[in-house]
Amino acid sequence: MTRPLVIVWLVVAGTIGKLEAQPVNIRVHDPVLIRQDSVYYLFHTGRGIAQWRSPDLRHWERMAPVFAEAPAWTEQVVPGFQQRNHIWAPDILFYRDRYYLFYSVSAFAKNTSAIGVATSRTLDPSDPEYGWVDHGPVVRSIPGRDMWNAIDPNVAFDEQGAPWLAFGSFWLGIKLVRLDSTLLRLAEPQEWYTIAARPRTMTLDEREPGDGAIEAPFIFRKNDFYYLFVSWDYCCRGVRSDYKIVVGRARDIRGPYLDREGRDLRHGGGTLVLQGNDRWPGVGHCAVYTFDGVDYLIFHGYDREDNGRPKLWILPLQWDEDGWPVAHLE
């Protein structure tokens, strides 16, 4: 049986190469990455949460989705969701003795949404302890009640080791809420912050996302700062996508996050990290990781030469003399 060829874009030391890997044509949205032992595991938006593994970030093997069937609770949040089982924007981390996979359940362009979490002792499906246990929703947004959207989760830890959940898309921006020590629910009493937003035309129907296009937060701690990466503008439009990545930083995980010019991300600030070009009109929904002492920017880009299909990008992330992240498509 002949299968189509995977094309993964990887940039190492500034050299862009087209790598031939496992014979499957992957379309990646919202990628996140983790390494267990010597194997890298990639999770992204897809039916049941799509996942892949690689020994070297070059050659990828497709794995079975995390959820063969959507968790039962998702039907209460989005009627009809179980039929498609199309789960968005996961986040993966290792905490204490197991892996935590946060994920988004939502109706498109509505804040009928929730963030759930599942755990597994291992990521290796050949291990007898492998198996994802779903723990249900952590936070939920409801139209008419909330002016925020419970999608695009990212978990980060403060200096004291307390866990925080950043999330959000459009509406009134990116939220940060403290989790309890199990990571399975919000800490009580609840502690909420807005950490980034863009100007929004408030005359629009409050049930609609509006025009403040911001989403996909990712908090990365380096040296004495927390860096908040977010995506501006629009994904999911193929060659018409104009996604881009911006950043701000703060001494406190709760903010305020300021850009290079001192502008607050809560009021539309943001320093550009990466934007598209003629070949890749939109790039975004990023994550940042350190492997073997090298920082990497992980994201998807829309390929104009392949009908706007989203592809995986892995770029080495540099830092300038003032401590700001620098990345280049070329």
- Looking only at the bridges linking them, the beta strands covering 283-291 and 294-303 are antiparallel
Annotated catalytic residue: which of 152, 215, 233, 303? 215
**Residue 84: count of CB within 10 angstroms of its CB:** 10
**Two structure tokens written together for 58:** 């070059």
Task: Give the count of beta carbons closer than 10 Å to the beta carbon of residue 168.
Answer: 29
Asked about 146 being catalytic, the answer comes back as no
> CA 211, CA 279: separation in Å to the nearest integer?
26
Spell out the SS3 assignment of 258-308.
ECCCCCEHHHCCCEEEEECCCCCCCEEEEEEEEECCEEEEEEEEEEHHHCC
d(C-alpha 262, C-alpha 282), whole Å: 26
Strand pairing category for 86-95 and 61-63 = unpaired
Confirm whether 224 is a catalytic residue.
Answer: no
The catalytic position among 30, 91, 134, 152 is 30
Count the Cβ atoms, other than its own, within 10 Å of residue 307: 9
Active-site residues: which are they?
30, 215
